[in-house]
Amino acid sequence: MLSMDPGKKISFQRRICDGDLAIVYERHDSMKAVKVHEGSELQNRFGVFKHADWIGKSFGSKVFSNKGGFIYLLAPTPELWTLVLSHRTQILYIADISFVISYLEVIPGCLVLESGTGSGSLTTSLARAVAPTGHVHTFDFHEQRAASAREDFERTGLSSLITVEVRDIQGEGFPDDFRGLADSVFLDLPQPWLAIPSAGKMLKQDGILCSFSPCIEQVQRSCETLKASFTDIRTFEVLLRTYEVKEGRMEYGAGDESDSLGPLPCKRRQCSSDGSIGSESFSAPVIMARPCSETRGHTGYLTFARLKCLQ
Amino acid sequence: MAEESLKIASIQNPRVTCEGSSVLLDVNDGDRLVFARLSTAATIKIGNKKCSLGPMIGCPFGSLFQVESGPKGPYLSRVVSTSEGSNTQRKDNSQLKDELKDNRAIIDDNTAQSLSGEDIDAMRRQGAAGDEIVEALIANSSTFEKKTLFSQEKYRLRKQKKYAPRVLMRRPFARSICEAYFKKHPARIGFMRIDALSLLLSMANVGAYSDVLVVDMVGGILTGAVAERLGGTGYVCNTYLGDTPYSMDIVRIFNFSDEINRRIMRSPLSNLCSSKSKTSEHSEKENALSSVSTEQTDLPSGNGTTDTILTSMHETNSSLVDKPCKSTKPGERASPEILESWKQNGFSSLIIAAPELDTWKAVQELLPLLSYSAPFAIYHQYLQPLATCMHKLQVTKMAIGLQISEPWLREYQVLPSRTHPCMQMSAFGGYILSGMRIYSG
């Protein structure tokens, strides 16, 4: 998934090989991760796709099914992985993820602690940010979830950058081996205030902590606890608004008056009878954009704080 | 082994300043942000007092300083106390009593403070510390006790800022640099808010060993942010149309090591697009020229602009002392070998932040330089150019996964029983068009 592996890095020369992880792209909202296997097939609503046909093609290629349907094969990235991974828990999405990475000042070589691991959506992006010399230690108290996460990181080729451990961070705190070594700590826990004192011990001076909580009561309580040894305590909410774009023709006046019933019916008529109406009543086609009607309204609050620098 | 790699990491990512370090100074909790380069000669002006930045050299980033007056005038003194802890304690005890108070008894007639300006000056002459003056002001305010706890805190903070100003020394990171510019000179970075910059880096899959092509007409914040994520591996190629490279002065504010600076390349777009033989012919001549021309463009802009930032952002007076060791400058002209390797392999991603270029025309030229399946992200402060570009990309089937997104960022005040979104917020941080190049051959 990452460029640090020279054999896997995308390039004009790179071809899909047996054993590669590919993202099958049907539509922007319909994607799937597939391990390419010489003898395997992929079956979906577009027909049957033979993996053997994919081998030797470039990533980014369009491939066809027995029925002539097509999909695209993409090289995996942490962003695509977030869209295809199996949800074992609620996951973090790109707006929160990208903001967390920047605000935690995670750069190559950093040591980052995370709890819980959840479905590993953020972990994947953290791994990219600390590569090639840093490391992410992630903890989840759920044994099965930790095991699945480990399998996922194996599959995405990130296991050299991530260590998954089973541990109840709220109850036991982070392992003492990391005392004073962490550049950043990320908490996504139901009672983060229980883990904050331990997180403070793990951080280097001036190191940064982030706590993600969906509810404001959790934030309130975390901030109270943070005051003891942290400074620069700030809470944010970050969301994305997406836009849809279409080409339209604007009509003015001259058309059949009886027909003008507002924008929608006009639109339909315009499509069916384009050309039959005098062309002077239409201006040139225009590209128009509007926000998509439905969107995620809330994910969680992100609280950041810096360990006070006392020495 | 582990210790060794930790040592290397700390050189790459220093947490203690030295002479020549670039720092971000946060005066009075965000009231003012100043970029400076530490030297014994550098000074900062706070209020009407001029202080040497000398005491900051050798201190860990994150250190807090307070302006104190000494026999030789005002100076910066490091604050290492934990007095804030006791403040919180006191607050909790009086929490209940406080909720019954309101402002009905407070009359604004300028007689509440019995300490005069002369009294304060006298205290100063006797060498009273800033904190002592603040306490005296509180003791002599007839209305302080009548205020709610919340406004008592506000009062204390206001007086502290005036009589005992504090300076926090921060590491300059993409995050803090972007925030500082967005606050002070948003136009210089194309009104790009930190959440938008973060999205660009994620959407373009920037990570170690990638070869990232950027068009950076936002002062170098983009180039710097990408280089920060590369950590001395891969390359960021800052390309430009025509003969004059776009300014990337902001890159100098980052404390980049030589290893990271070496990874920042410049190349005119014509060199990236031209055919193989033509480049190698040209390059020798151009290389000879470029080493001179980079010198020329870098030197004046280097001293000049950083100074402009310093002086315009604030009244600092730090002469930009170059690091004692000979350092590699960021933005060397890409060598023919590197150009050739980019042509052979393609770039692993593309980020455009070029408010002044025709987005669609730029994309038509730049997209073919990307490897197949490579992601790209295009920033703009206006929606229309991106909408047009997205439509054309759809029609020409050059890319998939196309999306225009606009980030929205809201900060909260979190206080006991007083949590709410901040009263002021940035309403706009920019638009991003993202997608992936597909194979069409």
pLDDT tens string B193-247: 999 999 999 999 999 999 999 999 999 999 999 999 999 999 999 999 999 999 9
Give the least confident one: A184-198, A278-292, B74-88, B98-112: B74-88
Checking DSSP bridges between strand A286-291 and strand A230-248, what pairing results, if any?
antiparallel
Segment B313-331 mean pLDDT: 53
Can you tell me which residue has the tokens 């392992």?
A175
Segment A14-33 mean pLDDT: 94
Interaxial angle between packed helices B221-230 and B194-203, expressed in degrees from 0 to 180 and rounded to the nearest 10: 50
Residue B107, pLDDT score = 75
Segment A210-215 mean pLDDT: 98
With CA atoms as reference, report the closest residue to B169 among B259, B292, B58: B58
Q: Report the complex ipTM.
A: 0.92
Inter-chain CB pairs, A–B, below 8 Å: 244
- CATH of the domain spanning A80-239+297-307: 3.40.50.150
pLDDT-based confidence at A80, cuts 50/70/90?
very high
DSSP output for B129-179: -HHHHHHHHHHTBSSGGGS-HHHHHHHHHHHHHHHS-EEEEE---HHHHHH
Q: How far apart are CA B194 and CA B4, in angstroms?
A: 34
Beta-carbon separation of A10 and B436 below 8 A: no
Q: How far apart are CA A22 and CA A42, in angstroms?
A: 12
> Does residue A282 contact residue A275 with C-beta atoms inside 8 Å?
no
Beta-carbon separation of B406 and A240 below 8 A: yes
Segment B50-78 mean pLDDT: 89
To which H or E segment does residue B410 belong? strand B399-413
Q: In terms of CATH architecture, what is B183-437?
A: 3-Layer(aba) Sandwich (3.40)
Q: Which residue in A20, A77, A222, A244 has the most chain B C-beta atoms within 10 A of its own C-beta, making it the best mutation to test that interface?
A: A77
Residue B296, pLDDT score = 34
pLDDT-based confidence at A267, cuts 50/70/90?
very low
pLDDT tens string B242-259: 999 999 999 999 999 999
pLDDT-based confidence at B74, cuts 50/70/90?
confident
Beta-carbon separation of B209 and A6 below 8 A: yes
Bind-site residues of A for S-adenosyl-L-methionine? 119-122, 140, 168, 188
- Using DSSP's 3-state secondary structure scheme, residue B49 falls into strand
Partners of residue A110 in chain B, C-beta under 8 Å: 9, 13
Query: What's A21-76's CATH class?
Result: alpha beta
Segment A144-172 mean pLDDT: 97
Residue B321, pLDDT score = 39
Residue B275, pLDDT score = 56
pLDDT-based confidence at B82, cuts 50/70/90?
low
Q: How far apart are CA B185 and CA B179, in angstroms?
A: 10
Beta-carbon separation of B411 and A234 below 8 A: yes
- Residues whose CB is less than 8 angstroms from the CB of residue B41 and which lie 6 or more positions away in sequence, other chains included: B52, B318, B319, B321
DSSP output for A91-123: ---HHHHHHHHHHTT--TT-EEEEE--TTSHHH
> Does residue B434 contact residue B405 with C-beta atoms inside 8 Å?
yes
Residue A311, pLDDT score = 66
pLDDT tens string B136-186: 888 888 888 878 777 888 888 888 888 888 899 999 999 999 999 999 999
Residue B295, pLDDT > 60, answer no
Q: Which residue in B373, B376, B408 has the most chain A C-beta atoms within 10 A of its own C-beta, making it the best mutation to test that interface?
A: B373
CA distance A15 to chain B (A): 10
pLDDT-based confidence at A273, cuts 50/70/90?
very low
Segment A181-202 mean pLDDT: 97
Of B9, B400, B410, nearest to A133 by CB-CB distance is: B9
Fold equal for A21-76 and A80-239+297-307 = no
Residue A71 touches partner B, C-beta closer than 8 Å: no
- Residues whose CB is less than 8 angstroms from the CB of residue A206 and which lie 6 or more positions away in sequence, other chains included: A306, A307, A309, B15, B60, B61, B62, B171
> Does residue A227 contact residue B92 with C-beta atoms inside 8 Å?
no
Of B208, B386, B401, nearest to A3 by CB-CB distance is: B208
Residue B312, pLDDT score = 38
Residue A263, pLDDT > 60, answer no
Residue A261, pLDDT > 50, answer no
Query: Would you list the domain boundaries of chain A?
Result: 21-76, 80-239+297-307
To which H or E segment does residue A231 belong? strand A230-248
Partners of residue B172 in chain A, C-beta under 8 Å: none
> Does residue A154 contact residue A19 with C-beta atoms inside 8 Å?
no
Nearest CA in chain B to A239: B408
Residue B91, pLDDT score = 46
Can you tell me which residue has the tokens 């402002």?
B103
Amino acid in position B199: L
Q: How far apart are CA B418 and CA B149, in angstroms?
A: 12
Q: Which residues 14-33 of A are in CB contact (within 8 Å) with B?
A: 14, 25, 28
pLDDT-based confidence at A280, cuts 50/70/90?
low
Residue A16, pLDDT score = 95
Residue A255, pLDDT score = 54
CA distance B433 to chain A (A): 10
User: A170: which 2 tokens?
Assistant: 């709220």
Q: Which residue in B372, B398, B406 has the most chain A C-beta atoms within 10 A of its own C-beta, making it the best mutation to test that interface?
A: B372
Mean pLDDT of chain B: 82
Residue A282, pLDDT score = 63
